[in-house]
Amino acid sequence: MFFHAATKKMAALLRSARLLKFSPSGLLQIAGTKRTGLPLGRLYSGAVCGGRSGICLREISPVCRHTSSLVWPYAAGCVRNFTVATERRDDAGVMVQSKQAQQFDWALAKLDNSVKRTGRITKTLLLRIFLDACRSGYPSSNQALLLLRSCGSLLPEVPQEERIKLAHRVWEKLKELGAQYDVSHYNALLKVYLQNEFKFSSTEFLAKMEAANVQPNRVTYQRLIAAYCQEGDIEGASTILEFMKSKDLPITEAVFSSLVTGHARAGDIESAKNILTVMKGAGIDPGPDTYVSLLNVYAEEGDLESIKQTLEAAERADCSLMDRDILHVILTLSKAGHHQHIAEMVERLRHERGYIPDAINLCLSLVTQGQEDPAFQILKTFPTLLSSNSYDSPNLGNFFLRHCINMDTSLEKIAHYCKELQASNLHSSPLTFTLYCALDATKTGTSLELMKLLKDQNLPVRPHYFWPLLTRHMKDENTDGVLEVMKGMQDLGMSSDAETLSRYILPFFPNIDVARQAFKDAGISIDYEELLHSQIRVLAVNNLAELYTQLSNPSFPSLDLNVFRTSLITGFKKSTNVEDMVKLTDLLYKDERFTTGNSTTADSTAFFLYNLIDSMSPEQVKAQEDILRKFFNQLQAQKMTISANIYKGIKNLLDFYHRPELIKDVLALVEPNEKVSNVSLSPVVTGTEKNMLALESRLAELKAENKPLTTVFRRLIQALCAEENLQRALELKQEYEDKMTVGHYATLISLCCRLNNVEEALNLKREISRKDSSVALDVSKYLALVKVLAVNGRIEDAVDILKEMKEKATLNDVHTHTLFHVLNDVAAVGQASTVQQLQDTIFTLGLAKPSKRLCGPWITAYLNSKDIPGAMEAVEQCQKRYNQLPSMHDIIVALVENGDTELLQKAMDFVSREYGEMMMMYDLFFGFLQTGRYREARKIIETPGLRAKPGRFQWYAEKCILNNQLEALEQMVDMTAKLFECDRDEMYNYILRLCKETNNWQKAEAVWMKMQEENLIPRERTLRLLADILKSNGQDVPFEVPEPWYEQAATTEQGKAPAAARSGTDYQGRLLALCKKGKAREAYGIMKDINSKGVALDPIVYDHLIRSFLAEGLAEDAMTVKKVATSHIPGFKLSDAAQSLLIITYSKKGRTRDALDKLKSMLQLDHLPMNLAINLLVQALGNQGDVAGIQEVESLTKSFGTSPNLSSMVFVNNTALAHIKNGDVASAVELLEGIYTSPDSTNPSMSFIFRKVLESGNDLALDKLNAMAERLANHFDCYKPASDLFVLLLDANRVEDAKFLLDRCNALAEQREVLLSFVAQSAQTPGQVGKIKNLLSLIPDCIEKEVLYPYLMKCHVLDKDLPAAKALHEQMQREGMVVDELSLKRLAVLYREVGETAPFPEPPESFRFYANKLKERAAKAQVAAEE
């Protein structure tokens, strides 16, 4: 009754607000003003919030904050203030509602990421999330709240009217779908109205809330006051204030800030100003929001002097205004038309962190509202900031120019902005970029005008600029639009080239005559020859019969085949009419009109045939084999011939495609006098020793016959050096001195350096210099000489070599990497002075720039000789001379290990002085971690104010992964759990990567548990990595990796237990630490000792100990601890995590009844266990053949709503396995077939079932499942089951079975994604290259070489198989492939590990760097393909 009465009273007050007659002493009378009103002292007394409590009205929020705190401060987890809630559509419990809200976490993550990076979201992203929510069919309240709150100032690129329409659309649609709205949703809608300055009726708004049975709260009233004040309606605001006072609702700073705006917009500036005095009298200090409101008041009036005074007053009041506050004032000045004052405010910007995103958003908002000039003025403040941060910004303002195009800003303005940007060297090519934006938006008129501007500035305008416009008009079937573009090209003095005509213009017209008439009518002149060429190209692609008619006409002019060869090949590949293909080929073969230059018609046509086969994929050749056979046979009947060389080229292609029958048909075309055998001659492979003997014998023969022997001599020298037979190589050098070239000497020098034969290497170098002093060696040979000379103490000779390098060679970044290894090898023998001399020479000569990496070996040399003070002195010298700080971590580790506190303090003071305290603390933290001083490390990382440094964490984690330091890595992850801005997913990902390297699936599973306990939502890559570890070790994956989105089941936090006695506090930290380390037994012993002394512990300690035992599968010990806890804490209950672990333990031990009972007890309490628990229980029931048990679990979970990551296939797969376990394979097949033949089937994976059946050796079940997979593939085009079985057979080395399946389901060869996934998965583990080769033996052309070879290289490197890796590298080079840097890096490391020198420079960056580079390239390629 109270609710209804209060709401009706409020609505009545608002309805009558404008009818009230105020007396001189009426509402809101403020001292010193002429306005009347209720005295503020009465109105605010007794209900005032002190300090700065209340709602912040500043709409431009810091970009660095999370969206969850930025956009929706009352989101999931907060208790909403409502009295009566609308009834739900079902009886789902509170826990399940929370679970359903978690299903939308991916949307939160996407928006959160966008806001953190840019401070805004795009309309496209918001609509995508909205449509996904609608498709879900039952959007939750949190989803609705998320979408509503995104329709305001976070959309600066969208006009305010459009934002409001979007908000109303979201509201109505989600309401229609059953979303339940409470007071937070209505408040969110009010906020959207305020941010978009939308006029609405407060009375109607409250009436709608009343009709929905939703009670307004304090925030509602505050925002209604703000809405009235936004319109200058003080009377309406006063009515609400009076009502709030009557209900003892607190009046916060937000209300006062609104009143400042309200009085000003009502025309009473003095009252607005005096609000600050009233606030102080009420005990509230004006905060930034109030001052910003007052500043905006003066900005609307254009009162610059009052703005300055207010800023000074805020400064005196110690009220710091941020850049975003000043930007808000600039926005107000712009909207009010007072542009002359903007420069004054711009000067007050301090360019704080986050300024750039905030300023970009302001510029976008201004352009959206038609205020381009102020936006451009703000844009010009960027370079100062960017240059001060050493950023290079040659293309400043891309976002500005793009948005101007999207908002249809006048071309004159855009041209002016472009001219000024280029004149100020702020943008390298603004006009060209603007044209790109206009083309991207397919704005024909704007694009053509911009092209005219480009031409006026003598900038190039190319034909392909018009393609986007033509493509759009063709898609829309807009003939006038196509002609308009062509007319525009003509006006620009450009003619349509052949490609533009053939691809984008002529296909639009039914024939060339219609096109020519249309061009003529539009006044467009087209060169006849170009039009003819384009017509031929179009016909070649689409109509071979008409093409033959045209070309065979004797009046047709000469036309080189090269003009339309590519189009003709496309047409041949599309055609099934062999007769047309033969007639055209015969015409080209006999008619000289289609050949120019020195080529004959026969040669041109034969080369065309080769290009035809070369352009076809293996799948195309296979599919068109019959057509090609008829084609070749009919060509032979026409007496057409090809040369032997062309035949060899085609034969090699068909060999690769595995089409031997076609080779015979091509062979028949070879000229009789050049007939060659169809059998390819393979080169004779002989052993190395036999080969060298043959070469020596051949060399002797050539010498005896006095014939040239250069080639044989070179090959023999290279072979001897490859076998490291230096003695025989030197003998040959002596014998054939006159035949020695610089290349021969270089090869011998390289061998001497490898064998550490310094004297012979130096002698050979001197011989070269004596023969020709101007000769320069390869840089790698020079560096090899420097290394061997320095290592053997010949430092002066090494310096001379470096000086010669400076004169004769040029070094690049790769050589700089080699220089580091040279210095490092010298440092390995502890020669610090030698390293220093080499380093000084290198830097002095300018062979390389000083860097931390190149300075490092000098420090390493001291550390290797245990001279830590010398190392510290060297670091100080590097900092002083080169501004570099190398190997500081190694020095700190050595100092900590030696316990040299005095020198450690000196080192820390040095680092702090040079690089700041933060750098020093991280150096010390990693030093303690590395030496096992974990307690000291924890003290460092828990220092107040310390922030996460992702780059430093990544560096140390990579170091731990490389050196297999699991304990140190785990400690780092554990210690940083509460560190500010620490990316927890990234930290756990490091541990999982190390688990992957060491194949430690037990630790990976434990990490998964920890992530669940920490309530962490892992990223997709982390889930994939964990899944890979578990799968590769034959373990069941307890989740389904989402593609492409992830959802994470929320774990219910344990309620707070009754407070325990505090006497056990001293012990609890130690017990919890032991539990986290997995030392449950030790912790249990301490607990028993504590309990015997009568000391009480907190419930959380008992719970952690129980979980530790359960993590080790010790259910009995865990229950013992539970009994102890119950005896000390009445009403003690296990946390959800502990109960989930108990279910897991019972399931693993086969105690499915106990696990099922525990699941039921949790569900009865409205709690859901972790997905892992449900997964393992269902799997255990499946292994026992308990179909009824699985159905019971499925029924229980469905009654409470399915968890986000719990797929329904968990129950289907395990039910099928249960049937198989019971010998009822037919039921399993029937169940699975029903899933795959269903119209709504998503083709889920069957790998789990096939793997289990293969592992059990149940051939009968496998045969029936195999038959089912074949049936689905051949009858229903459903290839997923057959593909899963095929790759699992390969993985189990059952090649014959896989071949049999492939023969019966040929389409498996086309399932590229599945096969590529198998190759990628196999390449993760050593010893799997045979499986990939088995796949290639069955389907040789299943994967492109560019994709396949890097995986093979990875396999060889994992297997430490250098000969195979070498052979693959050589094969890639022979085939003309560009070897990616990641493969080169892997191969170079393998060379180094086996003690050999790579014949190519090792890429200098890390593996991760090149892997990320490949991923980015692949992502760009995918985006380009999609576009």
- Chain segment 1213-1229, per-residue pLDDT in tens: 888 888 888 888 888 88
The CB density around residue 609, as the number of other CB atoms within 10 Å, is 24
HSE toward the beta carbon, residue 670, CA cutoff 13 A = 20
DSSP character string of 1112-1175:
TT-HHHHHHHHHHHHHHSTT----HHHHHHHHHHHHHTT-HHHHHHHHHHHHHTT----HHHHH
Amino acid present at 66: H
Cα–Cα dist 653/651, whole Å: 5
1306-1339 per-position pLDDT tens digit = 777 777 788 888 888 888 888 888 888 888 888 8
Cα–Cα dist 271/40, whole Å: 12
Q: What is the pLDDT of residue 1204?
A: 42
Question: Residue 480 burial by CB count (10 A; 0-12/13-18/19+): exposed, middle or buried?
Answer: exposed
Question: Which DSSP state fits 993?
Answer: H
Q: What is the pLDDT of residue 380?
A: 86
Of 212-221, 655-664, 1017-1026, 1077-1086, which range is least confident? 1077-1086
Cα–Cα dist 878/839, whole Å: 11
Contacts of 170 (CB under 8 A, 6+ apart): 130, 144, 147, 148, 151
Residue position matching structure tokens 């962190």: 353
Contacts of 795 (CB under 8 A, 6+ apart): 789, 834, 837, 838
1229-1284 per-position pLDDT tens digit = 888 877 777 666 677 888 888 888 888 888 788 888 888 888 777 777 787 888 88
Cα–Cα dist 1334/1339, whole Å: 9
Task: Indicate the pTM of the whole model.
Answer: 0.46
Of the candidates 221, 281, 275, which has an alpha carbon nearest to the alpha carbon of residue 245? 221
Does the structure show a pLDDT above 90 at 330?
Answer: yes
Position 1014 confidence tier, pLDDT thresholds 50, 70, 90:
low
Helix, coil or strand: residue 37? strand
Cα–Cα dist 1188/1215, whole Å: 9
Q: What is the pLDDT of residue 329?
A: 93
Higher pLDDT, 1130 or 73: 1130
Position 47 confidence tier, pLDDT thresholds 50, 70, 90:
very low
253-285 per-position pLDDT tens digit = 888 999 999 999 999 999 988 998 888 888 888
Does the structure show a pLDDT above 90 at 1008?
Answer: no
Position 853 confidence tier, pLDDT thresholds 50, 70, 90:
confident
Query: What residues pair up with 947 in beta bridges, in sequence order?
Result: 980
Does the structure show a pLDDT above 90 at 780?
Answer: no
Of the candidates 782, 818, 812, 819, which has an alpha carbon nearest to the alpha carbon of residue 798? 782
Q: What is the pLDDT of residue 1094?
A: 65
Query: What residues pair up with 251 in beta bridges, in sequence order?
Result: 48
Q: Round the average pLDDT of the chain to a whole number and report it.
A: 77
DSSP character string of 297-351:
HHHHHT-HHHHHHHHHHHHHTT-PPPHHHHHHHHHHHHHHT-GGGHHHHHTT---
Cα–Cα dist 435/450, whole Å: 6
Cα–Cα dist 476/647, whole Å: 47
Tokens in use for 1133? 């209950």
Cα–Cα dist 951/396, whole Å: 27
Q: Which residues of 1137-1167 are buried (b: 16+ CB within 10 A; e: fewer)?
A: bbbbbbbbbbbeeebbebbbebbeebbeeeb
84-94 per-position pLDDT tens digit = 333 333 333 43
Share of the chain above pLDDT 90, in %: 9
- Can you tell me the mean pLDDT for 496-511? 73
Q: What is the pLDDT of residue 1114?
A: 81
The CB density around residue 300, as the number of other CB atoms within 10 Å, is 18
Separation in Å, CA 232 to CA 236, 269, 292? 9, 12, 17
Higher pLDDT, 328 or 524: 328
Q: Is the peptide bond before 1403 cis (omega within 30 degrees of 0)?
A: no
Helix, coil or strand: residue 427? strand
Cα–Cα dist 1296/201, whole Å: 77
Cα–Cα dist 1112/889, whole Å: 37
Cα–Cα dist 1174/1210, whole Å: 9
Note whether 16 and 9 are within 8 A (CB). Answer: no
- Can you tell me the mean pLDDT for 771-786? 79
DSSP character string of 531-576:
HHHHHHHHHHHH-HHHHHHHHHSTTSPP--HHHHHHHHHHHHHH--
Amino acid present at 939: K
Separation in Å, CA 1247 to CA 1034, 1179, 1252? 12, 14, 8
1102-1117 per-position pLDDT tens digit = 777 787 878 877 877 7
- Can you tell me the mean pLDDT for 800-825? 74
Note whether 977 and 968 are within 8 A (CB). Answer: no
Tokens in use for 474? 């063709």
Q: How big, in percent rounded to 5, are the helix, strand and coil portions of the chain?
A: 70, 0, 30
909-953 per-position pLDDT tens digit = 888 887 778 888 888 888 888 888 888 888 888 776 677 888 889
Of 363-372, 677-686, 708-717, 1262-1271, which range is least confident? 677-686
Q: What is the pLDDT of residue 365?
A: 92
